[in-house]
Chains A and B, each alone.
Chain A
Amino acid sequence: MLHYLLRRLGSLLATLLVASLIVFLVIEVVPGDPASYMLGMNAQPDTVAALRSELGLDKSGPARYLEWITGLVQGDFGQSYTYRTPVADMVADRLWISLPLALYALFLSTALAFPAGIWAASHRGGPADTTVMVLTQLGIAVPNFWFALLLVMLFAVNLGWFSAGGFAGWEGGLLAGLKSLTLPAISLALPQAAILTRVMRSSLLDVLGEDFMRTARAKGLSERQALLRHALRNAMIPVLTIMGLQFSFLIAGAIIIENVFFLPGLGRLIFQSIAQRDLIVVESVVMLLVFAVVMVTFLIDLAYAWVDPRLRQKRR
């Protein structure tokens, strides 16, 4: 197990280093100068030059990369060009929205998908299965931003139960915060739940056909007991993989939903920073996301080992 852990950690570090190089190079190549963007159309060349040197943009590429990467290692994310505040503070503020939103959406999608997937698998071919399959097809096909607009029209504009968007802030209490995240979380969760339900169902069906399931039933377990005690655990590997991918997506991929609900989350920060060529913010946030994705994958790998003892033993 220790060997397995060390190997995984090693590849984790290598991935991060390569990713930092790629992120930096790609962003360097993108045309557009942050200083000219900030100063607009009437700015004089010497003003732009003054701002460039103030922002440290007049240094060479490798020098800036080294500065950035040594800063990152020490936990210093640099200072935003446009906002003139430390990137770390900005990211921390945004994470207080993006992370709860991602967890909320993941919770909703799991709470929907697990029962629905199990139900469909245990009634294979029946009307229950067909209903779930049709609904999930719909859930995958409907774009979530459009669904979000429908939610806003119904619950915010017509019924007035929620505000149309924005974030109330956690200082107003947990409930107020969760309330402003509810519609966005539902919009994010539905397509994810649809995918997860299908994965759950097909993975369970695969397992149900295995020999050990026949043995379990032969031992005298009911369909239901066999499913919950034996099949579910064995069907979890593909489900966990998808959940890991979905969680990474939820942290970074909520850009559109955050725009629809004007939530000041991480996705919107990246979106704004790219448009404003706030390169240091883009670089640092993308690196942070790479780190998050790599960490989630790492944790999911550990979870595999937990649900499937064979993976642990193989590497001993």
Chain B
Amino acid sequence: MKKRFRLPVLLFLATAISQAQAARTDLTLGMQLEPPNLDPTGGAAAAIDEVVYANIFEGLTRFDANGRVIPALASSWTIENEGARYVFTLHSGVTFHDGSEFTAEDVKFSIERAMAEDSTNAQKQLFANIDSVEVVDPHTVAINLTQADGNLLFNLAWGDAVILDPATAADAATSPVGTGPFVFDKWVQGDRVEISRFEDYWGEPVRLDKATFKFISEPTAAYSAILAGDLDAFPNYPAPENLAQLDADPRYSVVLGSTEGETILAMNNATAPFDDVRIREAVAHAINREEIIDGAMYGYGTPIGTHFAPHHPAYVDLTEQSAYDPEKSRALLKEAGVEDGLTVSLKLPPPAYARRGGEIIAAQLRDVGITAEIENLEWAQWLEQVFKGKDFNLTIVSHTEPMDVGIYANPEYYFQYDNADLQALMTELAGETDPDKRLDMLQQAQHIIADDYVNGYLFQLARTGVANSKLKGLWPNSPTQANDLTAVYWED
């Protein structure tokens, strides 16, 4: 009697064990904001790239996990005409998800579409220097520039420069068709986007079969969704207050990484009182960065002294130049003739770094005699009043675009810094292709803006991610806003 059911039991156990050992191939990832649409060439929202970048869409070049520019759809390139003409050799055998072939014509179409007069590309400036796109043969494309440009390969790596198929580009907002390793399956608006493996992918096949991006805006809800196992990872985890608790739990790993987000206390350089460099310097010395990072960000963040990412090779640590020194701050205010006190506006957009950081900064400024009147704004209002209308004295915002020190060369930009030396330097930088000279120029630029105390430089936004401890291959850093799933897998 006993013998009879031993075999079935063993078989059952054997299958159970093998099933347990086969690694999972699905993934549910949490994101705080839902993308408004899925066309990375038609909107600025970071959430679009966080779903589609490197997963669904690819460009000629792309960013890797550390922010380096590497080849993507272009296998190689040569630079001709003293840096004013780039000739790209394209991978052959690449197809879009709908089966149509990827050729040089698609490249020409995509770039011309982004540059067109009626284009709604949010980063149109990336293409400003392109004169023409020339199809040499089906697998070779040349880009002619109006002048030599060392930034082209970097610019083409952005999500806003991905390649679309002319036949499907118009519908990319709701049903994106790209060349990437994942195919778009389904979007349940307000809830989730589902993608699955593209079997005919030209490159290294991905290990996941299926991935779901789930949108959870409430930090507390994100926390319970992680604990309840509804989510496998939350790469931009919104509730730093319980990271320590999650870190102590062996089921989860907490990943700390860097972002491209320079968080600054921006000052309106064109109007009183911050048109006076002494008052700007006084603000810089009134700020205690550690206190802000601890108080507003639960200790996550790296102090910065200029508008540049600390993990970048060209970064210069200038935090000492604007070190916390309330005495010096008061002296500077006295020198500027405002020792009797100063009242300014401090307009805060919704993110926690701004709202919580703003309270702390207001207290620090009060300590040296500056009264900052806090006004909380929604993003749409912030864009209208502060960014477009330039109607503000102070504001706090994180500039998340990579390598964006160039904004200081635009006197029309919202903080309205106008310095001819810096503008000349940036023009020179754009035409320079020698890496050492570029590095040197970028460092000069950092010194110029730090010496002018253009803005209060607070900290580099940290990326705090939470993931199941068996999940490997997610990007720890965010060199661009993306959740690249191409290298993600489950450990056995």
Contact = CB atoms under 8 A, between A and B. Distances in A.
A50 B42 CA distance: 11
B271 interface: no
A173 interface: no
B214 A166 contact: yes
B36 A160 contact: no
A74 to B, nearest CB: 23
SS class, residues of chain B in contact with chain A = loop
B373 to A, nearest CB: 18
A169 B221 CA distance: 19
Contacts of B124: 43-44, 47
B204 interface: no
A259 B388 CA distance: 31
A46 B117 contact: yes
Interface string A71-103: 000000000001111000010011000000000
Given A44-B124, A165-B224, A50 B118 contact: yes
B44 A32 contact: no
Contact of A41 (B173, B188, B381, B387): B387
A209 B218 CA distance: 50
A164 B379 contact: no
Contacts, number: 149
Interface residues of A, number: 51
Interface residues of B, number: 46
Contact of A264 (B36, B191, B220, B380): B191
A39 B122 contact: yes
Contacts of B399: 41
B225 A164 contact: yes
Contacts of A41: 44, 383, 387, 399, 401
Contacts of B36: 38, 82-83, 276, 278
B221 A260 contact: yes
Contact of A85 (B44, B174, B217, B383): B174
B119 A31 contact: no
B41 to A, nearest CB: 11
Contact of B384 (A36, A153, A165, A269): A36
A119 interface: no
A4 interface: no
Nearest to A38: B43
B380 A32 contact: yes
B230 A163 contact: yes
Given A42-B44, A47-B124, A31 B381 contact: yes
Contacts of B101: none
B215 A262 contact: yes
A41 B388 CA distance: 9
B225 A272 contact: no
A33 B384 contact: yes
A309 interface: no
A32 B378 contact: yes
Contact of A163 (B174, B188, B228, B385): B228
B218 A259 contact: yes
Given A47-B124, A82-B43, A149-B224, 6 more contacts: A32-B378, A36-B387, A47-B121, A157-B224, A163-B225, A262-B218
9 contacts: A31-B381, A36-B380, A40-B122, A41-B401, A42-B125, A44-B125, A83-B189, A152-B221, A275-B380
